[in-house]
């Protein structure tokens, strides 16, 4: 079992490479702030349009701001830095509705090869605006290159924790728990608890991956003072999104290390290409190696053995 102590994270989308060239920034604005933002933009000389599905589009010189009915706000253009700073400082950083909290997420759960990685990230008002400027969003909506590009910044800005369960450890734990959700629940609690101790924050949010009672029972059994919220699509929260990025980075780095250590190619996911590689590893290097690089409760493992 590998533990990495790092460092903290609110609601955004990633355009780290794009931002440098086009000044693109994406965040979410509360409904009550919509007219206030419009007034501020009017005072700055913006002209307004109303495309479909938007509250408004505001344009000025080389800057375009689009506020969608969902609350999603995009800002782009070569002269957008002043507006981005306004949004970050006035509408996000000082947003009194924001509460310091921890978010957690996992990566590798559906991948036959490689580790299962779970991360937790603490976000507070001090690091919120900095994280938002990175353009953070759910790692599933980002390219691997974009994920790797913002990881070090998230680590530097936050209190965070990552657990990487490589296959040999993962398989032993799965045999003990006999259930993936129970294993996930244990891992989420571990990273949340460690970040809670470091940050002295007890409020936590995770993406609901099972019956909520599972995590409630774990928190109760551990006699933890975590105040845990579970909800679907929690990756829209910046703390959970940041955690998803760290978990994905840990998975990608872990998979690469395994390829180097064992001298095999390990495709991501659980596709037919993955099944064919599993069979090839079993035939050429033996079942023992396949067990070291894969999650053996997957049907892919049993199918590979059946084809030997």
Rounded distance, CA 270 to CA 196, Å? Answer: 34
Rounded distance, CA 224 to CA 169, Å? Answer: 25
Predicted pLDDT at 86: 72
Handedness of CA 209, 249, 149, 154 (dihedral sign): positive
Residues in the chain predicted with pLDDT less than 70, given as ranges, are: 1-23, 88-97
CATH, range 2-8+99-256: 3.30.420.10
For the record, the structure tokens of 173 come out as 């734990």
16-93 belongs to which homologous superfamily? TATA-Binding Protein (3.30.310.10)
- C-alpha distance from residue 58 to each of 22, 54, 84, 190 (Å): 17, 11, 14, 45
Which tens digit of pLDDT belongs to each residue from 117-147? 999 999 998 898 888 878 787 888 788 898 9
Where do runs of H (alpha helix) occur along the chain? Answer: 16-22, 34-43, 81-86, 128-133, 144-157, 167-177, 180-199, 212-221, 238-262, 272-285, 287-293, 299-306
Predicted pLDDT at 89: 57
Predicted pLDDT at 119: 98
Predicted pLDDT at 92: 54
State pTM to two decimals.
0.72
Handedness of CA 18, 206, 6, 195 (dihedral sign): positive
Predicted pLDDT at 115: 98
Predicted pLDDT at 14: 32
Which tens digit of pLDDT belongs to each residue from 246-265? 999 999 999 999 999 999 99
């Amino acid at each position: 079992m590998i533990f990495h102590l790092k460092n903290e994270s609110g609601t955004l989308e990633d355009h780290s490479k794009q931002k440098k060239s086009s000044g693109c920034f994406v965040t979410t604005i509360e409904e009550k702030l919509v007219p206030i933002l419009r007034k501020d933009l009017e005072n700055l000389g913006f002209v307004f349009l109303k495309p479909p599905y938007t509250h408004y589009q505001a344009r000025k010189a080389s800057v375009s701001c689009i506020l969608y009915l969902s609350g999603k706000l995009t800002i782009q253009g070569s002269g957008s830095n002043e507006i981005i700073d306004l949004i970050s400082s006035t509408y996000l950083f000082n947003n009194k509705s924001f509460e310091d909290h921890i978010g957690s997420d996992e990566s590798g759960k559906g991948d036959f090869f490689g580790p299962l990685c779970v991360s937790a990230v603490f976000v507070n008002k001090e690091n919120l605006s900095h994280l938002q400027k990175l353009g953070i969003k759910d790692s599933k909506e980002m390219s691997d290159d974009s994920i790797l590009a913002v990881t070090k910044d998230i680590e530097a800005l936050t209190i965070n924790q990552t657990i990487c369960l490589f296959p040999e450890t993962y398989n032993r734990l799965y045999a003990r728990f006999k259930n993936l959700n129970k294993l996930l629940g244990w891992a989420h609690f571990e990273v949340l608890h460690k970040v809670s101790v470091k940050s002295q924050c007890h409020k936590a949010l995770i993406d609901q991956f099972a019956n909520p009672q599972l995590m409630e029972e774990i928190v109760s059994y551990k006699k933890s003072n975590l105040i845990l919220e579970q909800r679907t699509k929690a990756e829209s929260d910046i703390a959970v999104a940041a955690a998803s990025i760290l978990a994905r980075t840990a998975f990608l780095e872990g998979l690469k290390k395994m390829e180097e250590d064992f001298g095999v190619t390990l495709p991501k996911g659980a596709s037919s290409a993955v099944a064919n590689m599993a069979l090839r590893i079993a035939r050429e290097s033996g079942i023992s190696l396949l067990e070291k690089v894969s999650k053996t409760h997957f049907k892919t493992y049993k199918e590979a053995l059946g084809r030997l």
